[in-house]
Structure formats: structure tokens, C-alpha cells
Amino acid sequence: MEITAKQVSELRQKTGAGMMDCKKALIESAGDQEKAVDWLRQKGIAKAGAKSTRAATEGAVASYIHMGGKIGVLVEVNTETDFAARNERFGALVKDVAMQIAASAPLYVRREEVPAAVLERETNIIKGELKEQGKPEAMWEKILGGKIERFYRDTCLVDQIFIKDPEGKKTVDQIVKEAVAVIGENIQIRRFARFVLGEGLEKKSSDFAAEVAAAVGAK
């Protein structure tokens, strides 16, 4: 069934959960508001939404080194108290987030951080593809929305599918909210840096090939 923006907004006001979580809850509950509230509570999402506005200034900076030192990650994850930051579940979450960054190479934490210029460039590329494919312009907006969502899922950490979810359905945002429900405090992924050994540097083999080509050309 089709879920309206009004239904999503009403559920968000009741629970404090995110828009996408509310929409999914309504879909799972066939549009029934009360069942959707129960679904969110069972998932721990309603509680997480209510806590998301509370200040989170404690937490941890964690590192993760992968592939024999060829990929390294630093990530800062915040919570409300130092006590929660020492919680075993919080520590496991931070480690999982660092592993996610190493494996999936996001560019931003959340979609709100994507620069307008980047989004505009991606939109223009997609429109160019649709034109090349001969898609009617009347269909562009609908197709564009789906492709931009996929762009967010690829590039934004909290929108990515969590690499350790065996069913491949949970997002990073969902596992954070599940941790919030258990720990009882607001948790926010603040920032990260991902390093790849040699990234941006030309390989020695390329330098050698260029020298050979130059030498041959000089003769």
C-alpha cells in the first residue's frame, strides 16, 4: 500500500523516530499507526529518536588497521557520559563503525554533509545517462530519486548497509539506534578519516615506465 507523507509525519511526532524509520514501520504495519509505534518500540528506534536531540560530548576516538597496514581508519563516536563511553556495547559499536569505514569507504557521515555542488554534479550525470538511454523526460524525476538514494547509500556512512548484518538489510544508522536502545544514551558518529597506503601517489613502476619512454623518445 502507498504510505503518505502525512502518515509518516504523524508517526514521527508520536515517536521521535527518523522519517525513513517511520515510513518502514508503516509499510511493515500496513499503515496502522499503533502497530507502527509498536514496531518501532520493538526495534528500539522510538527510544533512539527521542534521545537524538540530547547533547553527546563524551565518547571515544578509535582506530582500525586493515589488510596488513594498507588501510587505516580513525573515527570519533560521541555519547552523553564517560560512563557510557566505557560500556562494552559502546566499544563494540565504535569498532564496528571503524570496520565499516575501512570496508565500505564512505565519503561523508550523513547525507546532510554532502555539498550542494557534489549533489548537483551527480544529478547532472544521472540526467545525462537517462538522456543517452533515451528515457522519456517525464520519467526522469522518478528515476532520479531512486538513483540519488543509491548515491547516498554508497557514499554516506549512516545510510550504508551494515557489513556484519547477515541478511544485508540493516543500515549503520539502525545499528547505532539499537545501541542507543540498550545503552540508554544518545550516540552520534561525528567524523572519520580513512587512509589508504599510497593513495594519491604515483607508483614506482609508473615512474620507471615513464623514464623508459622518455629515454626511448630521446634516441
Look-up of cell digits 554532502: 114
Rounded Cα distance, 159 and 107, in Å: 11
Query: What's the pLDDT at 2?
Result: 83
Query: What's the pLDDT at 156?
Result: 97
Confirm if 156 and 106 have CB atoms less than 8 A apart: yes
Rounded Cα distance, 188 and 175, in Å: 12
Domains in the chain, start-ordered, CATH in brackets?
5-51 (1.10.8.10), 58-114+156-196 (3.30.479.20)
Per-residue pLDDT of the chain (219 residues; tens, 9 = 90+): 688 888 888 887 667 677 788 888 899 989 988 888 888 877 766 655 555 556 667 899 999 998 789 999 999 999 988 888 899 999 999 999 999 999 999 999 999 999 999 999 999 999 898 888 888 888 888 888 888 999 999 999 999 999 999 888 899 999 998 898 888 888 999 999 999 998 888 766 555 455 545 555 554
Query: What's the pLDDT at 219?
Result: 45
Identify residue 35 by its one-letter amino acid code: K
Q: Which residues of 175-195 are buried (b: 16+ CB within 10 A; e: fewer)?
A: bbbbbbbebebbbbbeebebe
Rounded Cα distance, 154 and 171, in Å: 11
Query: What's the pLDDT at 204?
Result: 61
Return the closest-CA partner of residue 96 out of 60, 69, 70: 60
Query: What letter does residue 158 receive in the DSSP assignment?
Result: G
Query: What's the pLDDT at 84?
Result: 86
C-alpha separations of 171 from 136, 160, 177 in Å: 33, 5, 10
